[in-house]
Amino acid sequence: MGDAEAPATPDAPEAPTSIARVTIDSPLPQLDRLFDYAVPAALAKGLVPGVRVRVPFGGRTVSGYVVELVTPGDSEFGGRLAELERVVSLAPVLPPDLWRLARQLADRAAGSAGDVLRVAIPPRQARVENRWLAAERGVPETVDAPALTGYPDGTLERLARGERLAVSAIPRTVRLPGGAEVGHWAITLAELAAATIAAGRSAVLLVPDFRDQAQLEAAVAVLLPPASIALLDARRPDAERYAAYLRCLEPAPVVAIGNRSAVYAPVTEPGLIAIWDDGDPLYAEPLAPYVHARDAALVRQENEGSSLVLLGNTRSVEAQRLVEIGWLDSVEPPRSGRPKVVPTARQSDDEPAARAARIPSTAWRTARDALAKGPVLLQVASPGYAPWLACASCGQAAHCARCHGPLGIPRAGAAPSCRVCGALATDWHCDNCGGTRMRSGAVGSARTAEELGRAFPGVRIIIADGDHTVLQVPATPALVIATRGAEPIAVGGYRAVVLLDGERMLSRESLRVGEDCLRWWSNAAALATPGAPVLLAGASGPVADALGSWRQAAWAKAELDDRRELRFPPAVRVASVTGTPVGVAAAMTAIEDLSGVDVLGPVPTGDEQVRAIVRLDYAAGAAAAGELRAAVIAAATRRRKGPAAARGRSTPTLRVRFDDPEIL
DNA sequence: AGCACGCCGACT
DNA sequence: GTCGGCGTGCTC
Annotated ligand binding at A430? The verdict is yes
pLDDT class of A13 with cuts at 50, 70, 90:
very low
Instruction: Find the mean pLDDT for residues A329-347.
Output: 80
Annotated ligand binding at A418? The verdict is yes
Instruction: Give, as one character, the DSSP assignment of residue A490.
Output: E
Q: Are residues A159 and A299 in the same domain?
A: yes
Q: Please give the Cα distance from A502 to A345 (Å, whole number).
A: 11
Q: How far is the CA of A403 from the C1' of C3 (A)?
A: 52
- Local structure of A556: helix, strand or coil: helix
Say which nucleotide is closest to residue A58, CA to C1' distance: C11
Say which nucleotide is closest to residue A651, CA to C1' distance: B1
pLDDT class of A287 with cuts at 50, 70, 90:
very high
Q: Are residues A640 and A587 in the same domain?
A: yes
- The residue that minimises its CA distance to C1' of C10 is A58
Q: How far is the CA of A28 from the C1' of B1 (A)?
A: 7
Predicted confidence at residue A389, as pLDDT, reads 67
Q: How far is the CA of A4 from the C1' of C4 (A)?
A: 58
Annotated ligand binding at A400? The verdict is yes
In this model, does residue A253 exceed pLDDT 90?
A: yes
Picking from A289, A307, A335, the residue at the C-terminal end of a domain is: A335
Say which nucleotide is closest to residue A36, CA to C1' distance: C12
pTM flag (> 0.85) = yes
Residues A425, A416: contact at Cβ < 8 Å? yes
Say which nucleotide is closest to residue A59, CA to C1' distance: B3
pLDDT class of A353 with cuts at 50, 70, 90:
low
Q: Are residues A236 and A169 in the same domain?
A: yes
Q: Are residues A81 and A144 in the same domain?
A: no
H/E/C letters for each residue in A83-105? ECCEECCCCCCCCHHHHHHHHHH
Q: How far is the CA of A21 from the C1' of B10 (A)?
A: 49
Domain assignment of residue A186, yes or no: yes
Domain assignment of residue A328, yes or no: yes
Predicted confidence at residue A647, as pLDDT, reads 42
Predicted confidence at residue A650, as pLDDT, reads 45
The phi and psi torsions of A637 (rounded to 5 degrees) equal -90, -25
Predicted confidence at residue A510, as pLDDT, reads 83
Predicted confidence at residue A173, as pLDDT, reads 96
Q: Are residues A164 and A306 in the same domain?
A: yes
Say which nucleotide is closest to residue A26, CA to C1' distance: B1
Instruction: Find the mean pLDDT for residues A646-655.
Output: 58
Query: Using the CB atom, is residue A648 less than 7 Å from strand C?
Result: no
Got the DSSP string for A415-450?
PPEETTT--B-TT---TTT----EEESS--HHHHHH
Q: Are residues A322 and A206 in the same domain?
A: yes
Footprint of strand B on the protein (CB under 7 A): A 28, 30-31, 58-60, 636-637, 639-640, 651, 653
Domain assignment of residue A534, yes or no: no
In this model, does residue A477 exceed pLDDT 70?
A: yes
Which residues, including other chains, have CB under 8 Å from residue A387's CB and lie 6 or more apart? A381, A408, A419, A441, A442, A443, A444
Picking from A335, A356, A375, the residue at the C-terminal end of a domain is: A335
pLDDT in tens, A86-120: 999 999 999 999 999 999 999 999 999 999 999 99
Q: Are strands A407-408 and A417-418 parallel, antiparallel or unpaired?
A: antiparallel
Q: How far is the CA of A412 from the C1' of C1 (A)?
A: 84
Q: What angle separates helix A184-198 from helix A210-223, to the nearest 10 degrees?
A: 50
Q: Are residues A139 and A86 in the same domain?
A: no
Predicted confidence at residue A15, as pLDDT, reads 37
pLDDT class of A17 with cuts at 50, 70, 90:
low
Domain assignment of residue A529, yes or no: no
Domain assignment of residue A112, yes or no: no
Highest mean pLDDT among A243-257, A497-511, A603-617: A243-257
Q: How far is the CA of A643 from the C1' of B7 (A)?
A: 18
Q: Which amino acid is at A218?
A: A
Domain assignment of residue A230, yes or no: yes
In this model, does residue A643 exceed pLDDT 60?
A: no
Say which nucleotide is closest to residue A33, CA to C1' distance: C12
Q: Which of residues 37-96 of A touch strand C (CB under 7 A)?
A: 37-38, 55-58, 77, 79, 81-82
State the total domains in chain A.
4
Q: How far is the CA of A655 from the C1' of C7 (A)?
A: 24
Q: Which of residues 404-443 of A touch strand C (CB under 7 A)?
A: none
Q: Are residues A45 and A189 in the same domain?
A: no
Q: Are residues A157 and A27 in the same domain?
A: no
Q: Which of residues 625-644 of A touch strand C (CB under 7 A)?
A: 637, 640-641, 643-644
The helix (run of H) or strand (run of E) holding residue A311 is: strand A307-312
Domain assignment of residue A342, yes or no: no
Residue A49: closest CA among A75, A11, A87, A13: A87
Q: How far is the CA of A629 from the C1' of C12 (A)?
A: 22
Q: Please give the Cα distance from A500 to A366 (Å, whole number).
A: 13
The helix (run of H) or strand (run of E) holding residue A259 is: none
Say which nucleotide is closest to residue A644, CA to C1' distance: C6
Q: How far is the CA of A60 from the C1' of B12 (A)?
A: 35
Instruction: Find the mean pLDDT for residues A397-405.
Output: 74
pLDDT in tens, A615-630: 999 999 899 999 999 9
pLDDT, averaged across chain A: 87
Domain assignment of residue A72, yes or no: yes
Q: Which nucleotides of C are covered by protein (CB under 7 A)?
A: 5-12
Q: At A155, which CATH number?
A: 3.40.50.300
Q: Are residues A49 and A164 in the same domain?
A: no
- Local structure of A167: helix, strand or coil: strand
Annotated ligand binding at A394? The verdict is yes
Picking from A90, A110, A126, the residue at the C-terminal end of a domain is: A90
Q: How far is the CA of A527 from the C1' of B7 (A)?
A: 75
Q: Are residues A307 and A401 in the same domain?
A: no
Which domain range does residue A241 map to?
134-335
In this model, does residue A476 exceed pLDDT 60?
A: yes
Residues A356, A455: contact at Cβ < 8 Å? yes
Indicate if the alpha-carbon torsion angle A221, A223, A227, A230 is positive or negative: negative
- The residue that minimises its CA distance to C1' of C6 is A644
User: What is the number of residues in chain A?
Assistant: 664
Say which nucleotide is closest to residue A637, CA to C1' distance: C9
Annotated ligand binding at A403? The verdict is yes
Q: Are residues A305 and A189 in the same domain?
A: yes
